[in-house]
Amino acid sequence: MSNSAVALNNYLIVGGLLFTLGLVGFLSRRNLIVMFLCAEMMLQGVSVTLVGFSGYHSTWSGQIFAVFSLAVAAAEAAVAMALIVVLFHRGDSLDVSLWQDLHEPDQPTLVDEQIVDEPVPEPQWPHLAVAGPLPTHPQPLTATHRQLDSTEVGRG
Amino acid sequence: MHPHEILMAALGQCLAAFTGEMHAGLAPLFAWAGGAGLGGDPGLRDRLLGVVLNRDVFGYIVRTFLILLPAGLGVYLMLPRGLPSKQPQYRRVGAALAAFSLVLICVWPVSEKISGGAPRTVLWLLSGWGGSAEFYLLGIVSLASAVLTITSRNPVYSALWFSLVLLANAGLYLIQHAEFLAAATAIVYAGAILVTFLFVLMLAQPQGAASYDRVSREPFLACLTGLLLAGVLLGTIHYSTSVEAIPNAAKQSVRPTAALARTQMTTARETSALVDYAQPHVANLGKSLFQEHFVSIEIVGVLLLAAVVGAMLIAGHTSESPR
C-alpha cells in the first residue's frame, strides 16, 4: 500500500508539472510550432497521470484511455501541421501575432514587443586541403554535335 | 548490498535530515516575515504561521507554492525576452533556480500515513524500494527537458528536447508495466509526430533567428499562471494522497463505484479487468481494448481517417490559393 501510494503521488506530480510547463509555454511562446509542441506536452502530462492511476488501481482503463489520447494527439498533429503549412504560405512567418485580427471586435489588439532581427552570422566553412591535381576539363561535346548536324544538313 | 544502494541510502538520510531542518527553519522565517510585514501583530502572525505549517489542504498548497516559487522564477528568467547579449547569464541563473526547485520537489516529505512509520522524504524510499531510482532519473530528465523545450530560442532545439521528454515518459510507462504504451509513445510520438514537426519546421523556417522566437509574450503573467495552477494542483494532489487514502482496487476486490456495473458482468471478464502481472501484458491489453472498448476503437479509427482526409484537404489547398 505504502509504496504504491508513493508511486501514484510521484506520477501525479510529474504529470501535473508537465501539464503546467506546457501551459506556460503555450501562453508565452509566439512560434506556432512551439505552441503546438507545448500542447502535445500538456497531453503527455495527462497520459502520465492516466498511466499512474492505471498502475495504482491495477486495471487497464487508464492505459486504454492513454492509448485513445495518443490517437487523438496524432490526429491533432496531422491537422495542426496542415494548418501551419497553410498559415506559413499565407503570412511568410510562423509568428502567431500575424493572425490576431481573428479576435473579437470589442477586444483590444495585442501589441507585442518589437525587437530587431539578429544578423545571421556568416557560416565558417572549413579549409580543406587540396587532395590532388585539378582534373582537366572535359572537352565540350556541343561542337562535335554541331559539326555532325551541319554535315547532315549539308548532305541533305 | 550494492554500492549504489548504499550511496542512495546515505543520500536519502542526508536529504531527510535536510528537510526536517527545513520544516523547523521555515517557522522563524515566516514569523519574521509576518512580524515585519504586518506590524508585529501577534494574532495575525500566528494565524499566518498556522496556515503555512498546519496539515489541512490550504497549508499543503501554501507549502507547494514555496517549493515551486524558485521554479517559476527560473522559468521566467529562462524564457526568451529579446536580450541577445545578456540572455546567457539570465538563463544560467534561471536554470539554477529551476534545478533547486526540482531538488526541493524530490526531497518533498511524505507523511507517516503512506510511508508507514517515521516521517521520510520521497527520496528516502530509494534505498528500500526497487524501481524508484529509475523513476527519479526519468522524472528529472522529463521535467528538465520540458523546461528546456519551452525556453529554447531555436524551435529545432525545442523539438529535440521534446523528443527527450517523450523518451523519458516512455521509460516512466515501462516502470508502470505499460509496455504497449511505452512502445507506442516512442514510435508514434517520437518517431512519427516529431518527424512531422521537424519536417514542417525545415519547410517553414525563415532565414536566421526570427524575432518572434527571441521574445515571448507576457512571460511574467504566463509564469504566474503556471505557478498558481501548479501550486493548487500539486498541493491538492499531495494532500489527497498523503492525508486521505485513495481507494485501491488491488486491495479491495471490487471498487465501490464500479460495484453495480461489475455485478452485471461475467466473472471471467471481472477477473480479466484486473492486471495480472504473470500474463503477457500486451495480449491482455489488446483483449480489453477490443472486447470492452470495441466501439471506442472504431470511433477513434474514424477520427484518424477524418483527420488525415482533413489534413490533406487543408494542406493540398495551398497550391491553388494566391499567396
pLDDT at residue B16, as a whole number: 53
**pLDDT tens, A6-18?**
778 888 889 999 9
Are A51 and B181 in contact (CB < 8 Å)?
Answer: yes
In this complex, which of A12, A86, A115 lies closest to B82 when CB atoms are compared? A115
**Average pLDDT of the segment spanning B146-165:** 91
**Average pLDDT of the segment spanning B88-114:** 76
Residues in a beta bridge with B109: B121
Return the H-helix or E-strand segment holding A62: helix A61-91
**Average pLDDT of the segment spanning B70-84:** 84
Share of chain A above pLDDT 90, in %: 32
- CB pairs below 8 Å between A and B: how many? 306
In this complex, which of B125, B209, B212 lies closest to A95 when CB atoms are compared? B212
Nearest CA to CA, how far is B302 from chain A (Å)?
10
pLDDT at residue A147, as a whole number: 56
Q: Under a CB-based contact definition with an 8 Å cutoff, are residues A28 and B218 in contact?
A: yes
Neighbours of A46 (CB within 10 A): 18
The secondary structure of residue A107, as a DSSP letter, is S
pLDDT band per the 50, 70, 90 thresholds, residue A44: very high
pLDDT at residue B124, as a whole number: 44
> How far apart are alpha carbons A127 and B168 in whole angstroms?
40
Q: How far is CA B294 from CA A60, A132, B70, B182, B275, in A?
A: 14, 68, 47, 22, 19
pLDDT band per the 50, 70, 90 thresholds, residue B125: very low
pLDDT at residue B102, as a whole number: 85
pTM of the model: 0.75
Judging contacts by C-beta atoms under 8 Å, the chain B residues touching residue A95 are: 210, 212
Of B27, B105, B37, the closest CA to residue B70 belongs to: B105
Whether the per-residue pLDDT at B321 is higher than 80: the answer is no
In this complex, which of B197, B312, B317 lies closest to A37 when CB atoms are compared? B197
> How far apart are alpha carbons B122 and B114 in whole angstroms?
11
Whether the per-residue pLDDT at A141 is higher than 70: the answer is no
Whether the per-residue pLDDT at B207 is higher than 70: the answer is no
Judging contacts by C-beta atoms under 8 Å, the chain A residues touching residue B296 are: 68
**pLDDT tens, B254-311?**
344 444 444 444 444 444 455 555 566 788 888 888 988 899 999 999 999 999 999 9
Strands B109-110, B120-121: pairing is: antiparallel
Judging contacts by C-beta atoms under 8 Å, the chain A residues touching residue B284 are: 60
pLDDT at residue B218, as a whole number: 85
What cell was used for A117? 532581427
> How far apart are alpha carbons B124 and B11 in whole angstroms?
8
Are A64 and B288 in contact (CB < 8 Å)?
Answer: yes
Instruction: Tell me which of A48-57, A104-113, B64-73, B98-107 is least confident.
Output: A104-113
pLDDT at residue B251, as a whole number: 47
Share of chain A above pLDDT 70, in %: 79
ipTM for this prediction: 0.76
> How far apart are alpha carbons B152 and B160 in whole angstroms?
10
> How far apart are alpha carbons B179 and A55 in whole angstroms?
12
**Average pLDDT of the segment spanning B115-132:** 48
Are A85 and B321 in contact (CB < 8 Å)?
Answer: no
pLDDT at residue B249, as a whole number: 45
**Average pLDDT of the segment spanning B28-48:** 56
Whether the per-residue pLDDT at B84 is higher than 70: the answer is no
Q: What is the mean pLDDT of chain A?
A: 81
Q: Under a CB-based contact definition with an 8 Å cutoff, are residues B249 and A60 in contact?
A: no
Nearest CA to CA, how far is A127 from chain B (Å)?
23
Phi-psi domain of B39 (left: phi exceeds 0; alpha: psi -120 through 50; beta: other):
left
In this complex, which of A21, A60, A70 lies closest to B275 when CB atoms are compared? A60
In a mutational test of the B interface, the residue from A3, A49, A56, A60 whose CB has the highest number of chain B CBs within 10 Å is A60
Per the model's pLDDT, the better-predicted residue between B36 and A22 turns out to be A22
